[in-house]
Amino acid sequence: MKGNRRRLVGKVTSNKMMKTVVVQVDSRQRHPLYGKVVSRARRYKAHDEIGCQLGDTVQIVESKPISKEKHWVVESVIAKGYHVVLPDDSAITGAGAAADQMAEGGPGGGAE
C-alpha cells in the first residue's frame, strides 16, 4: 500500500508554522480543445520533520490525514534554495529624511 502513494515535487513557500511547510507545486498541461499550455499552481501543507527552509525544492508524499488541511509529508529535500532577507526601511540611512522631505512638498518645491 505504501508504494501506491502520490509523490509531488515543489518549492517551499512558507515555513512559519511549527513542523509544517507550505509547498507550491507547479504543473503545466496543454488545453484539450484549444491547445494552449496552461500553467497551474497548487499549494499543499506538508508535515516537516526535516527542517526545510524557504526556497528548498522538496518531494512530498501523500499520507493519512494529520490535521484538517495537512495530508502530505516532506519525504526529502531535492535541492537547497536560497532565501534573501531584506533589511528594514529604518536600517537604510537617510531613508527617513528623504521620506520626510517628500512629504513636506518635495526637495525645493513648496505651495506656489
How confident is the model at residue 36, as a pLDDT?
Answer: 97
Residue appearing with cell numbers 502513494: 5
pLDDT tens-place values along the chain, 112 residues long: 567 899 999 999 999 999 999 999 999 999 999 999 999 999 999 999 999 999 999 999 999 999 999 999 999 999 998 766 667 666 555 555 555 555 666 666 555 5
Residues 6+ apart with CB under 8 A from 39: 26, 27, 28
Which pairs with CB-CB distance under 8 Å and at least 24 residues apart come from 77-80?
Answer: 77/50, 77/52, 78/9, 80/53, 80/55, 80/56
Report yes or no on 71 lying in a domain.
yes
CATH number for 83: 2.40.50.140
Does residue 66 lie within any of the structural domains?
yes
Residue 97 lies in a domain: yes
Cα distance from N-terminal residue to C-terminal residue, the chain: 79
Asked whether residue 110 is assigned to any structural domain, the reply reads no
Please state the separation of Cα 31 from the chain's center in Å.
26
In a domain, 109, yes or no: no
- Domains held by the chain: number: 1
Cell 520533520 appears where? 49
What is the domain range of residue 93?
2-103
Report if residue 108 sits inside a domain: no
Q: How many CB atoms lie within 10 A of CB 85?
A: 5
- For residue 50, being part of any structural domain is answered with yes
Gyration radius (Cα) of the chain, Å: 22
- Whether pTM exceeds 0.75: no
Residue 60 resides in a domain: yes
How many residues are present in the chain?
112
Query: Quick one: pLDDT at residue 105?
Result: 65
